[in-house]
Amino acid sequence: MELLNQISENLQNGFDEKVAALTKEAVEKQIQPEEILNNGLVAGMNIIGRKFKNHEIFLPDVLLAARAMNCAMEVLKPLLIKEGIPIRGKVVIGSVKDDLHDIGKNLVAILLEGAGFEIIDLGNDVPADKFIRVAREENADVIGMSALLTTTMPVMKKVVDLVKDEGLYGKIKIIVGGAPVSKEYALEIGADAYSFDGANAVETVESFFPKRGS
Amino acid sequence: MRSIVDFASEDVSLDRAAILRSQGVPDEAELSENFEKIYIKATELFRELAESKGIIAGITTSRFEEVFRGEGLNEKRNPVEEIYRNSSYLALFAVTLGPVLSSRVTELFNAGDYAPGYMLDSVSSYAADKLAYLAAEHLEAELAGGEAPAVSCRVLSYSPGYCGWHISGQKKLFEALYPEEIGITLNESCLMTPIKSVSGVLIAGPGEIHEFVNSYPFCNTCAARSCIERMRSL
Ligand code: B12
């Protein structure tokens, strides 16, 4: 459909206001919110994701598209909730205790949101018990943790241990990342996954959930 | 010698290709119009908001030995130890871009301006690293006492968290240098605030002393690998 193609194209160019206006227009034209989401916005983000992977575009271009996606979601979200359309999954994310660097974590959160996940961003300097408490309260599916320095990484293990203590191991998936973190470390502490960057984080979190439509 | 240096933001030359490379953008890449605009804006904001400062304080080899030993967590074999033992002069240093840039990055992210926020962060990270080079140049000039720096005296910076010098070494370094005087603080986990800060030692001596083969066991897991470029610059 022409209007949905326009949404997708404008999103790819990062024209946020235009995308929000076109999304409103689509709603007014009685196009189903889920269709606008899947065939307009997510379709556009998928193309962005592919181009990024092929090095045709770079992170700032992806972030502009993500902003456009967010602007459109402000229009769509209330309608999706009203219609009881299930979200893709809920991710509680934060930089661990004593870690005040949050750009890496922010990028991961933005890209996950762009991929349709609901994000609860706890910010930085987050104590271990807060990750679990919020994940429980919000019925989250995933906990994501970021660390800039090796010295703050032990908090990640603490969170994994707390998740085990509370009998939530396996029910809540745990993904870790940040400059000094590695796949080996993730394995060692019992986290479910490690990702080296935002795009890989999206793929990994997606792999935790059954494919859309299946 | 102990001095506080104000670096003019024009002194921090921003190498566009290097900044873009740090974002995973290859040199030959074609960039979108949006990308170019955001990059230019970020460099302008950087020039406007950076409050670049450094503190440099000379230290004797025996006193530095104690600082370097830190919490006793260094790698047994590491290049820094061999280099500083052959030095002709040592100075502790800390440099920072100040708190305003980082606050602006946070504000941009909070306002949903992710791309400009990311670009400003990336430019600032590059610049913070560059400040350590400027501190080394400053010391080199100072040691030359107004003359052109001697070819036989090259100053390079080395930081805790790199090359086998454990990151917890920052505790003793802070006690000896007191960078709080220029607004840099260290938390329990050895993270400095403002985020865009670098700490370490400036080691002066003939160029050869800085050369080493990067085949220490920890070199395999190093995420930086800047040693190669640094040695090339000698
Ligand atoms: C740029 C940089 C700096 C800059 C800026 C720092 C900043 N972060 O703002 C400057 C020059 C200031 C700096 C200073 C220091 N640095 Co530094 N720095 C780096 C470098 C080269 C890149 C980090 C970065 O900003 N990347 C860009 C951001 C966007 O990426 P990111 O945060 O890693 O996030 C991405 C991924 O990690 C992942 N991710 C992140 N979080 C999460 C979370 C989840 C859930 C998932 C799935 C994924 C994920 O996705 C993100 C997006 O792609 C790394 C080495 C490297 N190549 O990674 C060293 C590195 C982090 N630094 C290091 C060190 C030691 C320091 C200093 C202590 C040195 C010193 N003594 O001065 C200081 C500390 C600064 C402080 N405030 O305390 C070490 C840390 C080693 C350790 N033991 O922990 C590293 C690893 C280099 C090394 N030696 O190997 N640094």
CATH code: domain of residue A44: 1.10.1240.10
**In this structure, is residue A104 part of a structural domain?**
yes
E strands in A37-131: 90-95, 118-121
Backbone angles phi, psi at B32, to 5 degrees: -70, 160
How far apart CA B89 and CA B81 sit, in angstroms, is: 14
Quick one: pLDDT at residue A109?
96
> What CATH number has the domain bearing residue A121?
3.40.50.280
pLDDT per residue as tens digits for the range B3-44: 999 999 889 999 999 999 999 999 999 998 999 999 999 999
Do A113 and A70 belong together in one domain? no
Residues of A in contact with B26 (CB under 8 A): 55
Q: Is residue A213 part of a domain?
A: no
Report the percent of chain B where pLDDT is more than 90. Answer: 88
Task: Look at residue B234 in the predicted model and tell me its pLDDT.
Answer: 84
Q: Is A211 helix (H, G, I), strand (E, B) or coil?
A: coil
Residue B148 pLDDT class (50, 70, 90 cuts): low
Query: Does residue A212 sit within a domain?
Result: no
- Residue A144's domain comprises 90-207
Say whether pTM exceeds 0.90. yes
User: B118 to chain A: which residues are within 8 Å by CB?
Assistant: 59-60, 63, 103, 107
pLDDT, average across residues B36-61: 97
- Answer whether residue A187 is part of any domain: yes
Average pLDDT value for chain B: 94
Report residue B151's pLDDT band, with 50, 70 and 90 as the boundaries: low
Model pLDDT, residue A213 = 45
Instruction: Check whether residue A20 and residue A120 sit in a common domain.
Output: no
In this structure, are A184 and A96 located in the same domain? yes
Residue B188 touches chain A, beta carbons under 8 Å: yes
Give a yes or no: residue A214 inside a domain.
no
| Of A83, A117, A146, the domain-final residue | A83
**Shortest distance, CA B40 to any CA of chain A (angstroms):** 13
| Rounded Cα gap, residues A90 and A140, in angstroms | 5
CB contact under 8 A, B23 and A58: yes
Q: Quick one: pLDDT at residue A48?
A: 94
Tell me what the mean pLDDT of segment B86-98 comes to.
97
Q: Is the same domain home to A66 and A107?
A: no
**Chain A residue closest in CA terms to B194:** A100
Q: Give the domain extent around B113.
A: 2-233
* DSSP assigned state of B72: S
The pLDDT tens digits along chain A (214 residues) read: 799 999 999 999 999 999 999 999 999 999 999 999 999 999 999 999 999 989 999 999 999 999 999 999 999 999 988 888 877 899 999 999 999 888 999 999 999 998 889 999 999 999 999 999 999 999 999 999 999 999 999 999 999 999 999 999 999 999 999 999 999 999 999 999 999 999 999 999 999 997 654 3
Question: Is B13 an 8 Å CB contact of chain A?
Answer: no
What is the distance in A from the centroid of ligand 1 to the CA of B107?
A: 20
Rounded to whole angstroms, the Cα distance separating A160 from A144 reads 11
Query: Is the same domain home to A21 and A124?
Result: no
Summarised one tens digit per residue, pLDDT across range B163-176 is: 999 999 999 999 99
Distance B154 CA to ligand 1 centre (A): 27
Distances (CA, A) of A209 to A112, A127, A188, B60: 13, 27, 23, 59
Number of domains, chain B: 1
Please name the amino acid found at residue B224: A
Say if CB A145 and CB A131 are below 8 A apart.
yes
Contact between A61 and B121 using a beta-carbon 8 Å cutoff: no
Nearest CA to ligand 1 atom 50: A197
Based on the structure, what is the number of domains in chain A?
2
Give the end of a domain, one of A83, A102, A122.
Answer: A83
From A83, A110, A125, the end of a domain falls on: A83
Question: In this structure, are residues A68 and A48 in contact, taking their beta carbons and an 8 Å threshold?
Answer: no
What would the mean pLDDT of B168-189 be, rounded to a whole number?
A: 97
Judgement on whether residues A98 and A116 belong to the same structural domain of the protein: yes
**Rounded distance from Cα A180 to ligand 1 centre (Å):** 7
Closest by alpha carbon to A98, among B197, B189, B180, B106? B189
Query: Is A158 near chain B, with CB under 8 Å?
Result: no
A70 and A95 belong to one structural domain: no
CA separation for the pair B83, B90 (Å, rounded): 11
Q: What is the rounded distance in angstroms from the CA atom of residue A76 to the CA atom of residue A85?
A: 11
Give the domain CATH number at B113.
3.40.109.40
Element housing B223 (H / E): none
Q: Are residues A105 and A194 in the same domain?
A: yes
Q: Which residues contact A72 (CB under 8 A, 6 or more apart)?
A: A7, A11, A19, A20, A23, A36, A40, A41
B196 lines ligand 1 (CB under 6 A): yes
Contact assessment for residue A85 and residue A134, using Cβ atoms and an 8 Å cutoff:
no
